[in-house]
């Protein structure tokens, strides 16, 4: 987190740039990296995917561009005069509602205001937390042999993520940088896509047996979840394994943990865990374990083909797996293991897969 003064200065710098453009007679514009699949490249040093050199320019020459610049100035005013000055904050959704009073600068939908907040992060090289902007809680949780302390409004709390929490686990706060890791007895981290599999592993005592920290991602992981996974990996030197369904959408969940998301590639350094490995369900598992499957839909096929041209998936491993799946024309859920018995996943699949990966 940056000091409020630094944040204020950078936001004002943005306003100043636009002001000067008017004064110089330059048609005001904001240049941002273009946020598409074609404009992400691998950063050797950070081992993550970041934006390339392609820029999209938002110029007041068009009504769309002009409105976007106007909205940017309103948003900057809100952040400086309401948030930073009074040390308060709003959620992304609240910002959308605040814009009701902005007349022609009103946001059409929340996706638009969310995007503009991300744009401001890129333009100022800051995080939305610096602007005192919060996401809505998404309920992702951690369960495992880990002791943390969290700064809350009622002081610092120390929590053991098995003993001091209920069945649901420890809920990840939106600002993970308020959490400190105190102690742990873990060998690795498993990040799980679905609640069903998360609960299955807890019920079967997998965390205790193998010394695993189980992170429930709740689908596509929020920033805070990805930040927490990265910190577990970096600060505690724990390997990270991503366990999802075996379909194209789940591979994207893995990609956002290990490679970075296209939408938030400007935060890759902060959020991405390059060492994270894909555990499964792999298309080869569908064959090897003879799992119950569903047919690929047209959307699935489109997504798989799109992944073949996605630079993040341009490795031999992924090409092989995706090609195989296109041949099988099938996908499998994590829950498919239950068809072999409730213990199958913890007794057979995970031990085999983990020893294959050199974890146990």
Partner 1 sequence: MVIAEELAKHQKAISVAEFFEKNRQILGFDSAPRALITTVKEAVDNSLDACEESDILPDIFVQIKRRGEGFRVVVEDNGPGIVGSEVPRVFAKLLYGSRFHALKQSRGQQGIGISAGVLYSQLTTGRPTAVTTKIGPTHRAGRWELMINTATNEPEVLKTEDAEWDRPHGTRVEMEMEGSYVRSRRQSIYGYLKNVAIVNPHARITLVEPDGNVELFERATDRMPRPSYEIKPHPWGMELGGLIKMLRYTEKKRLKGFLQGTFSSVGAIISQEICERAELDPEMAPQDLTHAEATRLLAAFKEMRLKSPPTDCLSPIGEELIRAGLEKEYRVDFVATTTRPVAVFSGNPFQVEVGLAYGGELKADGKVDVLRFANRVPLLYQQGGCAVTHAIENVTWKSYSLTQPGGGVPTGPAAIIVHIASTNIPFTSESKDAVADVPEIVAEVELGLKEVGRKLRRYLSKKSALSERKEKEEIIRKILPRISKKLAELLDRDEPDINPVVAKIMGNLLVKRSVASENGETFVTLSVANYGDAARAFKLHETVSVEAGSVEPPARVIPLGDGYDHLWKVSLRPGERQSFKYTVPSEGVRFSEPVVEGVPSELVSGAKAVG
- 132 with 121: CB under 8 angstroms? no
Show contacts with partner 1 in window 51-70 (CB under 8 A): 60-63, 66-67, 69-70
User: What is the smallest separation between the CB atom of 75 and partner 1, expressed in angstroms?
Assistant: 10
With respect to partner 1, which residue has the nearer C-beta, 13 or 196?
13
Say what angle helices 4-24 and 110-124 make with each other, to 10 degrees: 90
Question: Does 6 sit near partner 1 (CB under 8 A)?
Answer: no
* Cα–Cα distance, 202 to 206 (Å, whole number): 6
With respect to partner 1, which residue has the nearer C-beta, 131 or 337?
131
- Binder of partner 1 out of 7, 35, 39, 74 (CB under 8 A): 74
* Binding flags for partner 1, 236-265, as an x/- string (CB under 8 A): ------------------------------
* Cα–Cα distance, 343 to 200 (Å, whole number): 9
Show contacts with partner 1 in window 85-114 (CB under 8 A): 104-105
Distance set, CA 7 to CA 19, 76, 109, 127 (Å): 19, 11, 26, 9
With respect to partner 1, which residue has the nearer C-beta, 102 or 181?
102
Q: Which position has the token pair 């610096």?
A: 130
Is 254 considered catalytic here?
no
* Binding flags for partner 1, 14-53, as an x/- string (CB under 8 A): -xx-xx-xxx-xxxx-------------------------
With respect to partner 1, which residue has the nearer C-beta, 130 or 247?
130
- Binder of partner 1 out of 40, 76, 179, 303 (CB under 8 A): 76
Say how many residues touch partner 1, by CB under 8 A: 27
With respect to partner 1, which residue has the nearer C-beta, 103 or 109?
103
User: What is the smallest separation between the CB atom of 10 and partner 1, expressed in angstroms?
Assistant: 13
Q: Cis omega before residue 178 (within 30°)?
A: no
Question: Does 73 sit near partner 1 (CB under 8 A)?
Answer: yes
Show contacts with partner 1 in window 139-168 (CB under 8 A): none
- The upper half-sphere exposure of residue 55, i.e. CA atoms within 13 Å in the direction of its Cβ, equals 9
* Cα–Cα distance, 257 to 231 (Å, whole number): 12
User: What is the smallest separation between the CB atom of 127 and partner 1, expressed in angstroms?
Assistant: 21
With respect to partner 1, which residue has the nearer C-beta, 69 or 272?
69
User: What is the smallest separation between the CB atom of 111 and partner 1, expressed in angstroms?
Assistant: 21
* φ and ψ at residue 235, rounded to 5 degrees: -80, -35
3-state helix, strand, coil in the chain (%, to 5): 50, 20, 30
User: What is the smallest separation between the CB atom of 250 and partner 1, expressed in angstroms?
Assistant: 38
From 19, 97, 289, 317, the catalytic residue: 97
- The upper half-sphere exposure of residue 136, i.e. CA atoms within 13 Å in the direction of its Cβ, equals 8
Q: Where are the alpha helices (DSSP H) in the chain?
A: 4-24, 63-78, 85-86, 92-98, 110-124, 195-203, 206-210, 223-235, 248-258, 268-271, 283-288, 298-308, 316-328, 344, 350-356
| DSSP state for residue 177 in the 8-state scheme | G
With respect to partner 1, which residue has the nearer C-beta, 60 or 217?
60
Q: What is the DSSP string of 106-148?
A: --SSHHHHHHHHHHHHHHHT--GGGGTEEPPP---EEESSEEE
The residues that touch partner 1, with contacts defined as CB under 8 A, are 12, 15-16, 18-19, 21-23, 25-28, 60-63, 66-67, 69-70, 73-74, 76-77, 80, 104-105
Residues with active-site annotation: 97
């Amino acid at each position: 987190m940056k000091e409020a003064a630094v944040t204020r200065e950078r936001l004002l710098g943005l306003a100043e740039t636009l002001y000067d453009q008017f004064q110089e007679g330059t048609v005001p514009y904001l240049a941002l990296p273009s946020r598409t699949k074609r404009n992400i490249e691998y950063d050797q040093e950070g081992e993550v995917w970041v934006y390339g050199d392609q820029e999209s320019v938002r110029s007041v020459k068009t009504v769309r561009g002009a409105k976007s610049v106007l909205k940017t100035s309103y948003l900057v005013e809100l952040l400086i005069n309401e948030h930073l000055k009074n040390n308060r904050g709003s959620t992304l959704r609240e910002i959308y509602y605040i814009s009701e009073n902005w007349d022609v600068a009103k946001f059409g939908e929340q996706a638009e205001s969310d995007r503009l907040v991300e744009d401001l992060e890129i333009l100022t090289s800051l995080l939305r937390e610096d602007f005192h902007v919060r996401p809505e809680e998404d309920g992702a949780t951690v369960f495992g042999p880990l002791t943390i302390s969290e700064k809350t409004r009622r002081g610092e709390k120390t929590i053991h993520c098995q003993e001091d929490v209920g069945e649901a686990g420890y809920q990840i706060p939106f600002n993970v940088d308020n959490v400190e890791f105190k102690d742990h007895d873990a060998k690795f981290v498993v990040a799980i896509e679905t609640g069903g599999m998360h609960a299955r592993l807890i019920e079967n005592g997998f965390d205790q047996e193998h010394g695993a920290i189980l992170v429930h991602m709740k689908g596509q992981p929020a920033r805070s979840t990805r930040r927490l996974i990265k910190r577990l990996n970096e600060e505690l030197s724990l390997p990270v394994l991503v366990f999802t369904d075996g379909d194209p959408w789940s591979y994207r969940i893995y990609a956002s943990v290990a490679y970075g998301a296209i939408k938030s590639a400007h935060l890759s350094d902060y959020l991405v865990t390059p060492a994270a490995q894909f555990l499964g369900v792999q298309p080869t598992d569908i064959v090897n374990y003879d799992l119950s499957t569903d047919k690929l839909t047209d959307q699935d096929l489109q997504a798989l083909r799109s992944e073949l041209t996605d630079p993040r998936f341009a490795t031999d491993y992924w090409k092989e797996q995706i090609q195989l799946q296109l041949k099988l024309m099938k996908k499998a859920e994590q829950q498919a293991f239950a068809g072999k018995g409730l213990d199958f996943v913890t007794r057979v699949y995970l031990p085999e897969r983990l020893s294959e990966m050199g974890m146990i």
